[in-house]
Amino acid sequence: MVEDEDGLVTAIEFEKSGCPIELAFRIDDTPDGPIKAAITSDDYFVAEVRDHLDRAFSYLQCLFSTELELNRISIHHEAETDEEAERIVVHSFELGKQDDRPLPITYDFITRAIMAAENGDAPQHEASLAHLARENLGSERYIDSFRYSFLLVEAMYGNGQSQKWALVDALESYPRFVEIIEQEVATWQRPKNAQRSETDDLLSGNPSTRDVISHLVERRGHYFHANKRKPKAWSSKSQKEAESLAWFAVGIAQAIGNDAAEPMFAEKYGQRHFDEAGQMGAHVTMKIEYLYRIPEQEFIRKRELVAKLPGTKVTTQMAMQILQNAMTHFEQNEPVGTIHSISARAEDGSDVFTVRFHTEKDGKVVAP
């Protein structure tokens, strides 16, 4: 990885050794053409890397919208012997448009996505539809956003059904989809200034899961198939009427995307991610300090821990993980203790977080 000073990735490096000399760039004479010579290459490794990154970023696009410029490539051919050094005519070459803007993604996410993309199929279908649903929602094209969200729902849980009640039954037969619907209904908040709609009327009550699924399928029939000559046919000029529907459906699509991205966080990648980050010097060290009290003692005890995580910059995700681990560690090692506060500092001394439990009064602090 190549990162800027803020810890954001500006380039991804792949290295392959033992390649045949035939992969190196060469200059071919073309005396009969308008250009007398051309630089050519048979480097199949570039296509492999491009495909690998495309699959890796599908994991990331399941979680949030991001783009990767796959046409900007710098290729370096390094000789492994003196003979190869003499035969390599063009040692490096750049293709594509110059663009050094960093990806708004940290080292941790990208490396996990690359590892997950090494084996098996990547969630490219889920990523594409979830990305388009979010993109159209952001552009206030609410009808298209809903349609992309429902295409994803139908692909994952529709069982190939197209008739209304057969499709409702198919969707309702999946416990995970029912769980997603229940979660979205429980956390639903009507978008501010949204036009009142059938979706709002339904969700503001106490609908059953089947009621919600039936509504989504009915709206699918309306926005996918309604003939323009039909009374109350939808119009691209009436986007606001589908705003609440689109927001609700995007929540469902995002939950499906989150499920599809789960392989990134598989336990089998944890130790490898940590080890490879260490080899690259990409570890973040934090010092955690507990202040706590043992029952029937007035004074406060102090305990310190040092934690190390893969990465190059402290992120909110890292801080949350450290806090969760710190709480678990405390509960396991001081089961009768009560926490006064937990704080963490980065290696450079900067504060990462402080959590104060005001149920515990202040007091004299002593070492354990």
DSSP class per residue in 39-59 = EE---HHHHHHHHHHHHHHHH
Burial of residue 336 (CB within 10 Å: 0-12, 13-18, 19+) is exposed
Cα distance between residue 197 and residue 191, in whole Å: 12
For residue 273, what pLDDT is reported? 64
For residue 134, what pLDDT is reported? 94
Which pTM value belongs to this model? Answer: 0.68
For residue 274, what pLDDT is reported? 66
Cα distance between residue 352 and residue 268, in whole Å: 28
Backbone phi and psi for residue 231, each to the nearest 5 degrees, phi listed first: -55, 135
State both tokens at 4: 């800027």
Cα distance between residue 215 and residue 244, in whole Å: 13
Instruction: Identify the helix (H) or strand (E) that includes residue 29.
Output: strand 26-29
Residue 28: CB atoms within 10 A of its CB come to 8
Residue matched to tokens 């190939």: 160
For residue 84, what pLDDT is reported? 75
β-bridge pairing 365-366 and 300-310: parallel
CA proximity to 299, closest of 272, 337, 255: 337
CA proximity to 219, closest of 237, 201, 192: 201
For residue 26, what pLDDT is reported? 67
For residue 175, what pLDDT is reported? 96
Cα distance between residue 348 and residue 196, in whole Å: 52
For residue 142, what pLDDT is reported? 95
For residue 11, what pLDDT is reported? 67
For residue 38, what pLDDT is reported? 62
pLDDT lower than 70: segments of the chain: 1-11, 14, 16, 22-31, 33, 35-44, 67-72, 88-107, 120, 226-229, 231, 273-282, 367-368
Q: Which residues have CB under 8 Å from 31's CB, separation 6+?
A: none
Looking at residue 15, what DSSP letter applies? Answer: -
Region of 25 on the Ramachandran plot (φ > 0 left; ψ -120 to 50 alpha; else beta) = beta
Beta bridge partners of 365: 300
